[in-house]
Structure 1
């Protein structure tokens, strides 16, 4: 794990953000219009609305995973979203690094609650979210058809 580090979004990482997320979504589901909206403009849709995007980068400087904290100002909460780790780095701590970095950022910025939308087919992801402290809640107002579980964490 010492070869992995966390970096914040930079414009040169936009294609990696799309690649990493498209990789897992296309493997298990299909891209939805809400995915495409975020992929086309992560700066406008995430960063400019008060969110942040995190990348786990290998020793060669290549992004091998990512996740975002997306602001939902109308609800006064944040969403952990677009978490992806390329297959060769799954099970090696990359997802934990991303989740821990996102939660540390959220705490340092005074976030009170984070929610996420997931799918129980993604067993490793659900296990990671539980390890990070997320709890299942009733599903409501999901943004993605593939969502069959919602989880939240109070900070």
Structure 2
């Protein structure tokens, strides 16, 4: 049985980070300006401000990713979470989510938030399983956002 390994992002991962996210975004929505910024320049928009990116490896291939974006005051956003369709249903999203929660704590977070869409039912079920709860949805830079969830750490 293959084991999922969660890896810290390196610059060599950028093409896969982008491809995994572009795949799911374009399946359901359209790419927006903030997507292009973060996916094309993750060092500038995610890492340099104090965030992190995790990659999931399964059977020697990178099949999943997620990012943590610092929002200030100990709050981080769980963002850019994607698992390749060929690897869905194997627990990789849950492993990534647990690793992201652990990484957020290491970065000093006391709360995680995420923005999503009600059409993404499997993703929302995963977030519930990880302990996130629904909260009111604020204005967002993404047109597709109609769900906001939080997790107290």
TM-score band, normalised by shorter chain: over 0.9
Distance 1:90 1:143 in 2: 28
Deviations 1:75-110 (A, max 9, x none): 652100000000011111010010000001112332
Unaligned runs of 5+ in 2: none
- The answer to whether the aligner puts 1:71 opposite 2:70 as a matched pair is yes
Runs of at least 5 residues in structure 1 that lack an aligned partner in the other structure: none
Kindly report which structure 2 residues correspond to 1:25-44, keeping only aligned pairs within 5 A, or say none. Answer: 25-44=25-44
Deviation at 1:44, TM superposition (A): 1.0
In structure 1, the residue corresponding to 2:56 is in which secondary structure?
strand
Q: How far, CA to CA, are the matches of 2:37 and 2:105 in structure 1? A: 27
Q: Does 1:129 find its partner at 2:127? A: yes
| SS of residue in 2 equivalent to 1:49 | coil
Residues 49-68 of structure 1 correspond to what in structure 2 (within 5 A)? 49-60=49-60, 62-68=61-67
Q: Distance in 1 between matches of 2:74 and 2:67?
A: 16
Number of residue equivalences: 153
Equivalent residue of 2:48, what SS?
helix
Report the counterpart of residue 113 of structure 2 in structure 1: 115
Q: For residues 96-142 of structure 1, what are the alpha-carbon distances to aligned partners after superposition, in whole Å with 9 as ceiling and x for unaligned?
A: 01000000111233211110000111111000000111000000022
Partners of 2:53 and 2:66 within 8 A in 1: yes
The separation in 1 between residues aligned to 2:74 and 2:107, in whole angstroms, is 13
Give 3-state SS (helix, strand or coil) of 1:136's partner. strand
> What is the RMSD of the two structures over their aligned residues, measured on CA atoms?
1.2
Partner of 1:150: 148
Superposed structure 1 runs of 4+ greater than 3 Å apart: none
